[in-house]
A and B are shown apart, each in its own frame.
Chain A
Amino acid sequence: MSSALRSIGRSSLGWLLPALLLAGWEGASRAGLIPANVLPAPSAVGEAFWKLLWSGELIENIRISTLRALSGFVIGGAIGFALGLANGLSALSRELTDTTLQMIRNIPHLALIPLVILWFGIDEEAKLFLVALGVFFPIYVNTLLGIQGVDPQLVEMGRIYGMPRKELFLRVILPGALPSIFVGLRYALGIMWLTLIVAETISASSGLGYMAMQAREFLLIDVVVLSILIYALLGKLADSLARFLERLSLQWHPAFQTV
């Protein structure tokens, strides 16, 4: 009982600092230390939140942004994962593609925005392309690293016991690469939001980034701040989801054992 309470206490400890910051911010705004046209009080941001929530505008924008983020993530992640597997398992494939990929990797993908706008205009494809490109590399690099890092002694063991290739992959290589793949996944989720917000800020007619840009036009600073806070929450949500999946699939790992 007390240990359960303690674990709840522990897990909510991370929220203590954000809550304190919010309280301090509210206090400073009320005392007139922070002018409302520089940074509105949290209560004003809260009001903007309610207003946008009831008008349905907020939900719609979050929905559109999330859909874009996830589609881009699925496309880029799937290609990155597939290439990471192929290059981790086949030396031929690695020699053929890795040099090219490493060169592309060193171009900041946001530098492609002007080119992407020329190619795709400001339609959905532009944002999907940028998110997919941003997500691709962390997944690719970490899948490749994970597979190359699988203990060769375990692979040899699997061969000695006569595991067919498919079984060797599913029982030895993939589980061995999984911790590294999760590192890539968490990186990729961060990059996913970052890329999307930048892309929506520059060129979009809907979504969270667009909402923030519109608010700036009309000097609705409370909505701008609200958008930023929502990015933080969405990012945290994605990260928590990834950690949950990690915990679920890496139960065997000493780092995730609670005893």
Chain B
Amino acid sequence: MTAATITARHSFANSAFTAPSARIHTPEPAGKLAFSFRNVAKQFGGTEVLQGISLDVYEGQFVAVIGKSGCGKSTLLRLLAGLDKPTSGELAGTDDRRRTRIMFQEPRLLPWARVIANVEVGLTGIAKGEAARQKSLEILAEVGLADRGGEWPSVLSGGQRQRVALARALVGHPSILALDEPLGALDALTRIEMQQLLERMWLAKKFTAVLVTHDVTEAVALADRVVVIDSGRIALDLAIPVERPRRHASPELAFFERQILDQLYNR
């Protein structure tokens, strides 16, 4: 399978389906590289999980990585976050670990620390004491949990816990945020709210986002660019030039969604 890049159709950008007001343009795939994979391969035991992945991601891009389970998409993210080392090939732009944060499907909050203290974990080695507290309070307010700082994580709902995890990931102002199916365990309505929050934070903080997901709808709703991984290789690299704010289930998004699904199921 070869990588195919399908560029935008301009007719879609001006179509009647998009919301007419408050259009925010997504960052152009130009400017500085945030990170790049050069011919990266990863083996576990004898099996090749990733083979020959080459990917350039620009600063401020929102990239979604999609694939069936076991296709290697989570491994890609772990390499990006420095949790695993590639068997061969090179990664550039991922040297400073503090630049990259990762968010998992589970919030991974410390149950014995109050919400605010959990957010402060994100400032380990960056800020301490009163400064850390102040920054954490600010980011908690931004994710809509201004008054919950003193609670134990166990009293929060699943969506709220994931918001705390997002606040913890962003409080240190990372330049890359890797997201490993962070909304996978949430119910459908909470998931849409979280997608909107994620988009809002991304627009405000201007980090590079790499979202691994198995939800095609989520990918096209959030990303500038969708990368489909199949059997350890990039099978499709598709730009989603739909303006923001995007509307769920709009025909434009459905168009791209169909292309991705066709690729996934070789139709």
Chain A residues in the interface with B (C-beta under 8 A): 153-154, 156-158, 160-163, 167, 171-172, 175-176, 178, 250-254, 257, 259
Residue of A nearest to B102 (CB): A160
Point out the residue from A154, A162, A175, A251 that lies within 8 Å of B108, measured CB to CB: A154
Partner of A257 from B83, B112, B125, B154 at Cβ < 8 Å: B154
Query: How does the 8 Å CB contact mask read for B107-144 relative to A, with 1 for contact and 0 for none?
Result: 01011110000000110110000000000000000000
Contact code string B148-179 (vs A, CB < 8 Å = 1, else 0)? 00001111000000000000100000000000
Please report which residues of chain B, range 173-188, place their CB below 8 angstroms from some CB of chain A when the two chains form the complex.
Answer: none
CA distance A252 to B155 in the complex (A): 10
A171 lies within 8 A of B155 (CB): no
A158–B125 CA distance with the chains assembled, in angstroms: 12
Q: Is B110 within 8 A of A160, CB to CB? A: no
Residue positions of B touching A, CB distance < 8 A: 81, 83, 97-98, 101-102, 104, 106, 108, 110-113, 121-122, 124-125, 152-155, 168
Q: A157-B121, A254-B154 are in contact. List 6 more A-B contacts (CB 8 A).
A: A162-B97, A176-B112, A250-B112, A252-B113, A252-B153, A259-B155
Q: What would 21 A/B residue contacts be, using CB atoms closer than 8 Å?
A: A153-B106, A153-B108, A154-B110, A156-B108, A160-B83, A160-B101, A160-B102, A161-B124, A161-B168, A162-B124, A162-B125, A163-B121, A167-B124, A171-B121, A172-B110, A175-B112, A250-B112, A252-B152, A253-B111, A257-B154, A257-B155
Find the A residue at minimum CB distance from B178. A160
A172: nearest residue on chain B (CB-CB)?
Answer: B110
* Distance of B74 from chain A, by nearest CB (Å): 13
Shortest beta-carbon distance, A176 to chain B, in Å? 8
Residues of A within 8 Å of B168, CB to CB, are 161
Chain B contacts for A160, CB-based, 8 A: 81, 83, 97, 101-102
Instruction: Determine how close the nearest CB of chain A comes to the CB of B162; give it in whole angstroms.
Output: 14
Partner of B122, one of A161, A175, A176: A161
Q: How far is the CB of A249 from chain B (nearest CB, A)?
A: 9
CA distance in complex: A259, B153 (Å): 14
Q: Quick check: B110 and A175 within 8 Å, CB to CB?
A: yes
> What residue of chain A has the Cβ atom nearest to residue B107's Cβ?
A157
Measured between beta carbons, the chain A residues less than 8 angstroms from B106 are: 153
Considering the chains assembled together, what is the distance between the CA atoms of A253 and B152 in angstroms?
9
**Nearest chain-A residue to B100 (Cβ)?**
A160
In order of increasing CB-CB distance, the 9 nearest A-B pairs are A175-B112, A252-B112, A157-B108, A161-B124, A254-B154, A252-B152, A162-B125, A162-B124, A161-B121
Q: Which residues of B contact A176 (CB under 8 A)?
A: 112
| A149 CB to nearest chain B CB (Å) | 13
Q: Which residues of A contact B97 (CB under 8 A)?
A: 160, 162
- Report yes or no: B110 in contact with A257, Cβ–Cβ below 8 A: no
Q: How far is the CA of A162 from the CA of B101 in the complex (A)?
A: 11
